[in-house]
Chains A and B, each alone.
Chain A
């Protein structure tokens, strides 16, 4: 048994979730809209459209993203902290736990509120079927590979891992961790972004919701031209 189970949070999940949602509402404020360069040229007059208002009139000041995992991805969600003087291992969104029992190897991803979105164990028939021994290093590596595959299927790409350096040197655990990292899961979770509480003087808060990936080479030529005339993203 390497990582202890959650203890308090399992029983209290509903309470904390309501508290967290109160602290970080899922609201996004409207800031600007890049203008349509060729809106005047397009003619839109189907008969059915008259019943509904045109799309441009629909934009509201605020929209809410109800995806419960979104704020965690954007690093805005509350990361429960306050155990600075205790042994580390409680401040996380998703955590890796590994259990090595006499017969089986189990690895789980545990969410702060007690949910277990992903797990893999040699106990499952689908994994056991392909193994010779359920407790050897081959099975440890397999568990790492399968867990990484399942994590990506659920959209989990980062996990916090509170294993001591001694534990990490052990053969089976190092194999699990290595297989997870090869499978595309990072074993380090980014911290919560600091909210600018004093807004009186100019501050530059981190804007984790912005996308900077440039995919213009994958776009069609017509799309590229449009980009050329686009307004600056945050002009007011």
Chain B
């Protein structure tokens, strides 16, 4: 405790003024002179939407335009037929008409031209993480489906655009299908941009098949064998992305050749951006589908046996609490709580542990918590801070919570 006589005049004044109301100060410019919210927002948006900085290049195929003129006649015909259909009318009136959702999905692929995949890709910022400032429209509908489970009771899980598939489901090499001519050549890449070990924005290559004639993926040249997704424990959901490229001609990808059934993660490190940049004159992204995956129990043995490494475990890194620098005279603050706040956490936890050990017997079970912990009144002779502390301890609040 400092000697009061040594304090400056200003500090003494400050101590004397405890409890006085302070003057109200206006923050910022007066509302008549300052900018309105709308003006500020236009300024912000103009900064973000700089036409040179935020320019995005379309690297894909043009989406085939369905002209209204071409389809209208057929659609009107179908509408007329449904309107004349008495059974449908009856079912609609009786509310028994049922619409097959799967057929709606198949029809939407034809009529909406994979716009929903594009929307979902923007929602998951797929283009930004794979191609940075470029994007494409997934013109070719890419169907990927995994089969898993015991023999005889196989279950199929399909990959859409962001649905959740567990690593256990995605153990085996999937079936890939897409509409294509047999004379065309394709490349299929399966990568993940999330949670690279280096902590940098890099990708892992899970599968790479090139020079695929038509849609028979088995006949393609496998540069990198299929590896199941392995999201680490505690990092949440990672994206796993299939991109289908259409090649103009037979290409030589031999520099991307990995060792057979490659298990080394640094060998599998990959960059879609660099890969596409190298072959961009002869290759165009055409199809896209992706899913999200979280850690599950089946990965433990995969890390130990296949990747031959310890299984990593992560947790979210919350920002550490920021405290004001400690004051000599914290005005209008309960001194005991204030001091607890700035105490070394180890010292505080040791104190709490000693208190806990006092209450417990080494060989007996812990005492039952009382039904009405505040039933016994506290002595009035105690200072209020002490009574508050005892009360908190009885109710197990604050620092006493996990006693």
A and B physically associate: yes
Nearest residue (CB) in B for A34 is B311
Contact residues in A for B119 (Cβ distance below 8 Å): 115-118
A118-145 CB mask vs B (1 if < 8 Å, else 0) is: 1000001111111111001110011001
Contact B88 A132 (CB under 8 A): yes
Q: Does A218 contact B (CB under 8 A)?
A: yes
Contact B315 A209 (CB under 8 A): yes
- Chain B contact residues, CB within 8 Å of chain A: 41, 44-45, 48-49, 71, 75, 78-79, 82-83, 85, 88-89, 91-92, 95, 97, 99-101, 103-105, 107-108, 110-112, 116, 119-120, 122-125, 129, 160-164, 166, 168, 193-199, 201, 232-239, 259, 263-267, 291-292, 294-298, 300-301, 303-305, 307-321, 340-343, 345, 348-349, 352, 398-399, 401-402
Contact B298 A215 (CB under 8 A): yes
Contact B308 A42 (CB under 8 A): yes
A138–B123 Cα distance when bound, in Å, is 30
A32–B165 Cα distance when bound, in Å, is 25
Q: Does A81 contact B (CB under 8 A)?
A: no
Contact B296 A211 (CB under 8 A): yes
A202–B88 Cα distance when bound, in Å, is 66
Q: Which of A49-57, A83-91, A97-105, A159-167 contacts B (4 or more CB under 8 A)?
A: A49-57
Contact A130 B103 (CB under 8 A): yes
Contact B307 A55 (CB under 8 A): yes
Contact residues in B for A67 (Cβ distance below 8 Å): 124, 194, 236-239, 292
Contact residues in B for A209 (Cβ distance below 8 Å): 234-236, 314-316
A203–B397 Cα distance when bound, in Å, is 11
Contact B300 A34 (CB under 8 A): yes
9 smallest CB-CB distances across A and B, nearest first, come from A33-B310, A126-B107, A201-B399, A153-B160, A132-B92, A55-B309, A29-B317, A126-B108, A28-B314
Least distance between A151 CB and chain B CB atoms (Å): 10
Q: Does A76 contact B (CB under 8 A)?
A: yes
Q: Does A4 contact B (CB under 8 A)?
A: no
Contact residues in B for A28 (Cβ distance below 8 Å): 195, 232, 234-236, 314-317
A35–B119 Cα distance when bound, in Å, is 42
> Which residue from A74, A127, A197, A233 sits with its C-beta under 8 Å from B236?
A74
Q: Among B99, B166, B305, B342, which residue has the most Cβ atoms of chain A within 10 A?
A: B99
> Which residue from B48, B194, B267, B341 sits with its C-beta under 8 Å from A52?
B267
Contact B104 A126 (CB under 8 A): yes
Which A residues between 31 and 77 are near B, CB-CB below 8 angstroms?
A: 31-39, 42, 44, 46, 48-49, 51-56, 58-71, 73-74, 76
With A132-B82, A145-B99, A226-B305 already in contact, 17 other A-B pairs whose C-beta atoms are closer than 8 Å: A25-B317, A29-B314, A33-B313, A59-B197, A65-B237, A67-B124, A67-B194, A67-B237, A70-B238, A111-B123, A145-B101, A146-B104, A155-B162, A200-B348, A201-B340, A203-B402, A219-B168
Least distance between A107 CB and chain B CB atoms (Å): 14
Contact residues in A for B105 (Cβ distance below 8 Å): 126, 149
A122–B78 Cα distance when bound, in Å, is 15
A215–B295 Cα distance when bound, in Å, is 12
Least distance between B249 CB and chain A CB atoms (Å): 30
Contact B341 A36 (CB under 8 A): no
Contact B195 A201 (CB under 8 A): no
Contact residues in A for B292 (Cβ distance below 8 Å): 67, 69, 155
Contact residues in B for A12 (Cβ distance below 8 Å): 41, 44-45
> Which residue from A128, A203, A223 sits with its C-beta under 8 Å from B301?
A223
Q: Does A196 contact B (CB under 8 A)?
A: yes
Contact residues in A for B164 (Cβ distance below 8 Å): 155
Known: A49-B264, A63-B235, A67-B124. A36 touches B163 (CB 8 A): no
Contact A31 B314 (CB under 8 A): yes
Contact A202 B349 (CB under 8 A): yes
A28–B267 Cα distance when bound, in Å, is 23
Contact residues in B for A215 (Cβ distance below 8 Å): 166, 168, 296-298
Least distance between A90 CB and chain B CB atoms (Å): 15
Contact A64 B199 (CB under 8 A): yes
Contact A55 B264 (CB under 8 A): yes
Pick 25 A–B contacts, CB within 8 A, sort by A.
A14-B45, A28-B236, A29-B316, A36-B311, A48-B259, A52-B266, A55-B264, A55-B266, A56-B308, A60-B199, A64-B199, A65-B235, A69-B292, A70-B235, A124-B111, A124-B112, A125-B107, A126-B112, A130-B100, A131-B92, A132-B97, A138-B99, A141-B95, A209-B234, A222-B301
